[in-house]
C-alpha cells in the first residue's frame, strides 16, 4: 500500500520536506487550499527536487482546471464530486489526448517545454493518473459503472463529504464505512487504484484490510499543528 498526504500550503519547501520524509506521493489541494496555477506550478518544482510524485486535487471538474493541472506536470489528478457515469466520462475526455479532448500544447512542463514531438507529448500526457473522487451517496450507488469508465485509473473515497451526503457528521459511522468498503472492493475488482483519505496514520490499517491500494494521511498543516501543539 502506498502512503501519501495532502499539501495545503503553497510552499515548495513543504513538497521537498515531505519527499525527504519518505512519502510515496502527495496531493496538492487546489480544492480546499489556496492554490492557483502559479502556486501549484512552483509545487511541482519542489516535488521534482525531492523525487516526490505530486498529484493535484482540482478545484472542480471543469476542463480548464483539469488542463492546467496536467500541463504543469502533475503525476496525476484527483477530481472532486464525480457523482455519475456521465461526469466520469467527461473527466476522462478532458484529461486524455488519446480518445479524449484534452487541449494540446507541448510547451508546458509535461511536454518538456517543447522538446517533444506531438506524438511524444501525447504519450507523456496520457501517462498521468486520473482519479475520480467518490464522495456522495449517489456516487456510491453508481460506483461500479463509474469505475468501469475506460481511461479512469481509479477512485478516491472522500468519507467526510460522503457522510454529509448521507445525513451524518461522522466519517467513521457504520454506514459510511460499509459504503467505503464496497467502493474499494469494486475498484480492486476492476484492477484500478482504490484510494482512501484518512485523518490519522492509525486509521490506515483498517482501510488496508478493506483492500485500499493507497491512503492519503493528513496534510502538511495537520503535521505542523500536531508537532507545534506537542512542543508547546
For 63-121, the pLDDT digits (tens) are 999 999 999 999 999 999 999 999 999 999 999 999 999 999 999 999 999 999 999 99
**Residue range 208-219: mean pLDDT, rounded:** 97
Question: Residue 232, class by beta-carbon neighbours within 10 Å (0-12 exposed, 13-18 middle, 19+ buried)?
Answer: exposed
- Residue partners of 145: CB distance under 8 A and separation at least 6: 85
Whether 186 and 174 have beta carbons less than 8 Å apart is answered as: no
At residue 35, the pLDDT reads: 98
3-class state of residue 165 by DSSP = helix
Cell numbers representing residue 109 in the block: 512542463
Angle between helices 85-95 and 63-71 (to 10 degrees): 40
Scored b (16 or more CB within 10 A) or e, 21-43 reads eebebbbbbbbebebeeebbbeb
Whether 43 and 7 have beta carbons less than 8 Å apart is answered as: yes
Using the 8-state DSSP alphabet, how is residue 203 labeled?
G
At residue 44, the pLDDT reads: 98
3-class state of residue 145 by DSSP = helix
Residues 167, 32: Cα–Cα separation, whole Å:
22
Residues 91, 148: Cα–Cα separation, whole Å:
13
Task: Tell me how crowded residue 51 is: count the other CB atoms within 10 A of its CB.
Answer: 9
At residue 165, the pLDDT reads: 96
Whether 161 and 135 have beta carbons less than 8 Å apart is answered as: yes
Indicate the pLDDT class of residue 212, thresholds 50, 70 and 90.
very high
pLDDT in tens, 119-176: 999 999 999 999 999 999 999 999 999 999 999 999 999 999 999 999 999 999 999 9
Active site residue 32: yes
Residues 68, 41: Cα–Cα separation, whole Å:
9
At residue 139, the pLDDT reads: 98
- Residue partners of 5: CB distance under 8 A and separation at least 6: 18, 23, 26, 27, 216, 217, 218, 219, 220, 223
Question: Which element (helix H / strand E) includes 227?
Answer: helix 220-231
Question: Residue 173, class by beta-carbon neighbours within 10 Å (0-12 exposed, 13-18 middle, 19+ buried)?
Answer: middle
Residues 231, 180: Cα–Cα separation, whole Å:
35
At residue 99, the pLDDT reads: 94
| Residue of 32, 81, 182, 214 with catalytic role | 32
Amino acid at each position: 500500500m502506498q502512503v501519501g498526504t495532502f499539501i495545503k500550503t503553497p510552499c515548495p519547501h513543504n513538497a521537498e520536506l515531505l519527499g525527504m520524509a519518505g512519502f510515496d506521493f502527495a496531493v496538492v489541494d487546489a480544492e480546499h487550499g489556496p492554490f492557483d496555477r502559479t502556486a501549484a506550478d512552483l509545487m511541482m518544482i519542489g516535488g521534482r527536487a525531492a523525487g516526490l510524485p505530486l498529484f493535484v486535487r482540482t478545484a472542480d471538474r471543469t476542463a480548464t482546471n483539469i488542463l492546467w493541472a496536467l500541463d504543469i506536470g502533475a503525476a496525476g489528478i484527483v477530481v472532486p464530486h464525480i457523482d455519475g457515469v456521465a461526469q466520469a466520462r467527461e473527466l476522462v475526455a478532458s484529461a486524455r489526448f488519446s480518445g479524449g479532448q484534452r487541449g494540446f500544447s507541448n510547451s508546458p512542463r509535461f511536454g518538456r517545454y517543447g522538446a517533444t514531438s506531438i506524438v511524444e507529448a501525447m504519450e507523456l500526457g496520457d501517462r498521468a493518473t486520473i482519479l475520480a473522487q467518490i464522495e456522495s451517496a449517489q456516487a456510491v450507488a453508481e460506483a461500479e459503472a463509474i469505475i468501469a469508465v475506460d481511461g479512469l485509473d481509479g477512485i478516491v473515497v472522500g468519507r467526510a463529504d460522503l457522510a454529509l451526503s448521507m445525513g451524518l457528521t461522522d466519517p467513521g459511522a457504520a454506514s459510511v464505512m460499509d459504503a467505503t468498503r464496497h467502493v474499494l472492493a469494486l475498484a480492486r475488482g476492476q484492477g484500478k487504484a482504490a484510494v482512501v483519505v484518512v485523518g490519522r496514520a492509525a486509521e490506515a490499517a483498517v482501510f488496508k484490510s478493506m483492500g485500499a491500494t493507497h491512503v492519503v494521511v493528513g496534510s502538511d498543516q495537520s503535521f505542523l499543528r500536531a508537532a507545534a501543539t506537542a512542543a508547546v
